Amino acid sequence: MPIPQDVTGEEIDSDVRQQLQSLPKTLAEDVARNLVMVARLIDEEPEQAYGYSRVALRLASRVAAVREAAGFAAYANEKYGEALAEFRAARRMTGSIELWPLMADCERGLGRPEKALDMAGAPEVHKLDKAGQVEMRLVAAGARRDMGQLDAAIVTLQSPELASNSVQPWTARLRYAYADALLAAGRESEAREWFAKAVEADKDGSTDASDRLAELDGVEFVDALDESDDRSSDEGEHEDGEAAEATEAAEEAENAEIAEDGHHGESEDEKDEGAEG
């Protein structure tokens, strides 16, 4: 797959670069450039990111960072079985527990919420940092909802992190998930309160909490472009109407002129007849 010339491979972080040192220099550069493309495209063009991840995987399948990148790309494309396999491989290589919540979410994606819940209660969760534990809580709540256990999902999300007034990287998503679960359970007023709190914490727009809040408040957004198109359409119809009226008026004037000419012609004939008499 083509890679822009401005991508050198130097953009990767030091940890990944260190892992690639086990490869020949030219091969390491090729792998690094493909990994940079995965990172660049995974949010906006996940299918292309997946393609670059497969190239990197073909070149260096024994590098943990490559397996992890392949897992993220597969996950972004909802290829959960493939993502789970790559995450497991990366974990075996590094011994890291960081991917545990993502692995559990892959189980959800594969239609195995019970397995995700088992993972949420495993000893590995206690080894996660605070961000990882919050992520695991979100996955567990999602699994509860998959199983139709709305009340249990709500209880799962109730935590010190949810109650805290401090804003952390996970705060907006946690509040959003809680609000969404409340709304699904028919607790609309509480849901509105928590969507509003999610908006307060969502500085980078990682959720659509503002849209959900507006929807609950009955606010409708009008697309300015569509409004402009409608106005142009109305103006066009108005102009067409004016043109039709002008044409009709011209035709009436022409008919009137013809009729008048005919009347004058008859008068002249009558005069001629009178003179002959």
Q: Given this model, what pLDDT does residue 227 score? A: 56
Alpha helices in the chain (DSSP H): 14-20, 25-41, 46-59, 64-76, 80-94, 100-109, 113-120, 130-146, 150-157, 160-163, 171-184, 188-201, 209-216, 224-276
Q: 86-137, pLDDT tens digit by residue? A: 999 999 999 999 999 999 999 999 999 999 999 999 999 999 999 999 999 9
pLDDT top residue among 239 and 172:
172
Written as six digits, the tokens of 34 are: 């493909």
Please tell me the least confidently modeled range out of 38-42, 83-87, 180-184, 249-253: 249-253
Q: Given this model, what pLDDT does residue 1 score? A: 84
Written as six digits, the tokens of 207 are: 């959720």
Which among 106, 57, 62 is positioned nearest to 85, based on CA atoms? Answer: 106
Q: Given this model, what pLDDT does residue 260 score? A: 53
| Residue 264 pLDDT > 80 | no
Cα 82–chain centre separation: 22
| Residue 206 pLDDT > 60 | yes
Which among 167, 165, 137, 164 is positioned nearest to 152, based on CA atoms? Answer: 137
Residues in the chain: 277
| Residue 249 pLDDT > 50 | yes
Q: 136-160, pLDDT tens digit by residue? A: 999 999 999 999 999 999 999 999 9
Rounded percentage of the chain residues whose pLDDT exceeds 70: 79
Q: Given this model, what pLDDT does residue 242 score? A: 57
Q: Given this model, what pLDDT does residue 218 score? A: 85
pLDDT top residue among 103 and 241:
103
Q: What is the mean predicted confidence (pLDDT) over 167-182?
A: 96
